[in-house]
Chains A and B, each alone.
Chain A
Amino acid sequence: MEQAVSCQNDHQGPVESEGMRALRAQVAAIERGAAVGDGSGLAEQAILPLGLAEIDQTLPAGGLACGAVHEASGSAVGGFAAWLAGRLVRQRGGAVLWCVKPGGTGQLYGPGLEAFGLDVGGLIIVRSRRRADMLWVMEESLRCPAFAAVIGECDEVINLAASRRLQLAAESGGTTGLILRRGGVAAAADRTKPKLIPNACASRWQVDASASNAHWNPRGEIDSELGRELESGTPGLEMTGLEMTGLGMPGMGTPGMGTPGMGTPGMGPSDMRTRWQMSLKRCRGGFGSGTWLVEHDEATGDFALVATLGDRPAETGEDRRLAG
């Protein structure tokens, strides 16, 4: 069974040798349930590159494995899931199913999902209150090849047996699953000490919101426009909002904005760009773990690595090998 793993791994040359690659492919084939040598047409494992070279290098075969189940926890998993699902849809085509837990922290909101690149037209939302229902929905949907991604929200831990079931379903359907463990905004207590209960997810992430480098300053540095108005002494901050309603046109934006309902802000690039701290905790067949600070590029919709890594030293290749 010399089925090769998809070859998007040009940039990981120093990390693995040719022999290792062949071995990995063989192991992967066995893991996918093929008898050695019968050549029963194992489809080559599809890969979703995240578009972030440093992270893709750490992942096996240069990207997130499709046809597998991944897990993410943390305070920014919603956006992370929307972004990943959007990428999956653009790469592989198909619909997205998002199994939400109703109540508490609100309902999925179309315009917000769109901002992270998810095509809301192809999104099916399933509401399930109970964990058993959510697992059942995920398993059923993962078997359905019409989906590019199946996302399930769950507050509790998914144990080994359940995650293994989902993994098998994802393999049979060729769909990618993503389990979101949203602790809610308030319950971020275990963030500092995450307990990783073993399960069969292909990769496990911790994605947390991170403070952007924008700082609100009452002198008006939020927005360059506003700032200038404040500096020039005009009562800008309030006036910019009032002008529009004075015309009696509800929700009218500033001319040229093109977005109805939009007020003054949003002119020009924002300082308040979304930042996430993404940590890869576990990854099957990967090259260890890592933590990266990424920032949303509002022009392209993709994420880019932030050069300074906060208070944490950058990981070296040496570290990665040891961890793997």
Chain B
Amino acid sequence: MPRLATDRLRRAKTGASPVKPQGGERLPAGERPLAVVHDSGGRTLVGAVNEAAADAGLFQGMSLADARTFLPSIETVPADPAADTATLERTVRWCGRYTPWTAMDGLDGVWLDTTGCAHLFGGEQAMLDDLVARLDRLGFAVRAALADTPGAASAVARYGVNGTVVARGRARSVLALLPTAALRLGAGTVAGLSRLGLRCVGDLYEMPRAPLAARFGEDLMLRLDQALGHVDEPISPIPEKRRYHVRTVFAEPVGQHEAIVGGLERLIARICRRLERGGRGCRRLEFTLYRSDGTLQQIAVGTSRPIRGPKHLFRLFAHRLDTLDPGFGVEAMALVAPVTEPLAARQSAFPAGVRRKAERRSRHSPPGGGILPSEGTGSSKGTGPSKGTGPSKGTGPSEGPEILVLSPSAPLADAELGQLIDRLGNRLGFDAVVRLAPRESFLPERVARAVPVFDKAAPFWAPAPSVPHRPLRPLRLLARPEPVEAMALVASRSATEQKMRKMRKMREMPVVPVVPDRPLPEEGGPPMLFRWRRVVHRVQAAEGPERIAPEWWREDKGWASGSRDYWRIEDADGRRFWLYREVRPKPAAAPRWFLHGLFA
């Protein structure tokens, strides 16, 4: 390549990379044949194999059944593509020690653009050897090559001699002897070429281009030209991982509250600008004071969803700032966003409804919303200086409206809701600010569960039916059913009367005996009288039973006792309870009743 000497290097990892995420170091197990297997169209195929397995004749792409005939003792591990990719990405970043221009090549390779870097390591060959040796020490089997073009490097690394440095301008002759598959072609193309007798890359050099392109597509010619350097192939490096960490060092220790507040504001503005450049929002912010006596003071806030609005973030800190003790002075302070999430840029146009509401509110509300006295002072102290001079005022990240969706039936366009949730969450804990998410289940306690308000993964509650249905379910559900002493109608009249007499004796309650004039089945009716939390309730009306059986496909300790018959019970005062009786009590035991919910 006449313009710039481009050296590329390619490293293929076989065998070591899948073992790596599980074992860390190269394991002694590496001595034993090992293969990573994955399912493909009903067959189990061998992915990567280690050296021992490769020596026995196994190769990537063969079926596991074939592999076992070669090597019955082979050990197999299911493939984990995500871990492979993560390992590869770490390797790509590690390769940043040689050149900043690194990228992933497919699923098992690394590109390094070593332009202008090789001399730092004693030349190209020395650099390549160093790279191979270091990765080998890390437990990776590496095939590496260095050539003028990415295509040539890739071809030589995978199909040529390991550790080759292809001298400038020699790519053509080196490639000529490699199989056509080295050009990163599809399997179909390679097979087609070999049918025509074109097995080596060199065979293609002399062929007329147009018929080849017509028959195999432009891709073949493109790959060939890329390998030979006729067509430039840029490498896009993986983006640098941004770290969101800003700090300020004071010329001399400061102790005033105002200075700390002002410093925090500047740090927040800086980190927010940085977050905006990175297209991210923070979920957590940690503010650390380095005191002159060598100790630290730290406060942290969390948010319910990614944000980068400086004013809102400052407000989250505001009421915690009073807890900071500068001691004998603060030398430095740092603000770190350890947890960030992608946050797309928003345009800052207000939907009409929000604007109207915001205007109405600003007219009515006094400035500086004091909540409790202590917090009110904190927040007003904080927002005061920022109003005029805040660097984020004009150019900083916009705090436009976010569209927050609580549920499809109640989409809310209000930035304030999100900010409110953050304030509540920081004071009460984010697990105390929840919404209800439905769950497919027959068991009443599993039907609804509490999830964080902005948990997008949890399903949304279906819109309320246009006509509310009957209150068949209680308004409140007890965390776990509580046993009640109940007296229900049973089959035998004498048994009922006995029980009733017994209970009346116990409570000295005037009980009007209601005795069925026809036999009821055993475990029959609703309770007539029950005692819950030391209060006796006389049953006035009942609806039921509604039988709910446990889900046999799940293990659930709460339902180990089997099916339940639920009754909606109204007592003499009109209060309503949700009681159930275990359908199959232990043999020769009285039926047990439990209270599971309240209708109020």
Which residues from chain A sit less than 8 Å from chain B, CB to CB?
Answer: 40-41, 43, 75-79, 82, 86, 89, 94-95, 105-128, 132-133, 136-137, 139-141, 143-147, 171-174, 185-186, 188, 208-212, 214-216, 218-219, 222-223, 230, 235, 237-238, 241-242, 244-245, 248-251, 259-266, 270-272, 274-275, 296, 298-301
Contacts and interface: CB of A to CB of B under 8 A. Distances in A.
A263 B570 CA distance: 18
A244 to B, nearest CB: 6
B428 A127 contact: yes
B529 to A, nearest CB: 12
A116 B471 contact: yes
A318 B541 CA distance: 37
6 contacts: A105-B598, A115-B471, A174-B361, A211-B541, A216-B542, A265-B545
Interface stretch (B33-41, B171-179, B323-331, B440-448): B440-448
A275 B463 contact: no
Contact of A110 (B447, B550, B551): B447
Nearest to B411: A122
Given A238-B524, A242-B547, A108 B539 contact: no
Contact of A77 (B534, B546, B572, B600): B600
Which of B489, B547, B576 counts the most chain A CB atoms within 10 A? B547
Interface of B: 357-358, 360-361, 363-366, 369, 371-372, 406-410, 412, 414, 416-417, 420-421, 423-424, 427-428, 432-436, 438, 442-444, 447-448, 450, 453, 460-465, 467-479, 489, 514-518, 520-526, 528, 533-535, 539-552, 563, 565-566, 568, 570, 572-576, 583, 597-600
A95 B365 CA distance: 20
Given A109-B477, A118-B464, A251 B570 contact: no
B91 to A, nearest CB: 45
Contact of B566 (A210, A238, A263): A263
B475 A79 contact: yes
A134 B212 CA distance: 77
Given A77-B600, A140-B420, A209-B573, A115 B540 contact: no
A128 B429 CA distance: 10
A312 to B, nearest CB: 15
A121 B464 contact: yes
Contact of A121 (B463, B551, B568): B463
A259 B534 CA distance: 35
Given A112-B476, A115-B469, A251-B549, A212 B461 contact: no
Given A106-B476, A120-B436, A132-B372, 20 more contacts: A75-B574, A105-B476, A106-B597, A109-B477, A115-B468, A120-B461, A121-B460, A136-B372, A144-B414, A145-B414, A172-B365, A174-B361, A185-B533, A218-B520, A241-B583, A251-B442, A251-B443, A251-B547, A265-B543, A272-B541
Given A121-B408, A230-B518, A298-B469, A107 B479 contact: yes
A208 B572 CA distance: 12
Contacts of A235: 521
B570 A212 contact: yes
A219 to B, nearest CB: 7
B516 A218 contact: yes
A94 to B, nearest CB: 7
A243 to B, nearest CB: 9
B475 A112 contact: yes
A245 B544 CA distance: 15
A-B pairs, 5 with minimum CB distance? A121-B407, A251-B442, A263-B546, A122-B410, A301-B468
A241 B365 CA distance: 58
Contact of B475 (A78, A237, A250): A78
Contacts of B448: 109-111, 120
A183 to B, nearest CB: 11
Contact of A124 (B453, B574, B598): B453
Contacts of A242: 547
B600 A250 contact: no
A211 B465 contact: no
B475 A126 contact: no
B423 A140 contact: yes
B471 A250 contact: no
A173 B358 CA distance: 9
A116 B435 contact: no
Contact of A250 (B357, B453, B552): B552
B453 to A, nearest CB: 6
B467 A300 contact: yes
Nearest to B358: A145
Contact of B547 (A110, A123, A245): A245
A149 B515 CA distance: 48
Given A238-B521, A238-B524, A137 B424 contact: yes
A94 B412 contact: yes
A315 B564 CA distance: 46
Contacts of B469: 114-115, 259, 298, 301
Given A82-B475, A146-B417, A216-B542, A124 B363 contact: no
Nearest to A188: B573
A121 B552 CA distance: 30
B424 A116 contact: no
Which of B467, B479, B548, B600 counts the most chain A CB atoms within 10 A? B600
A211 B442 contact: no
Contacts of B476: 78, 105-109, 112
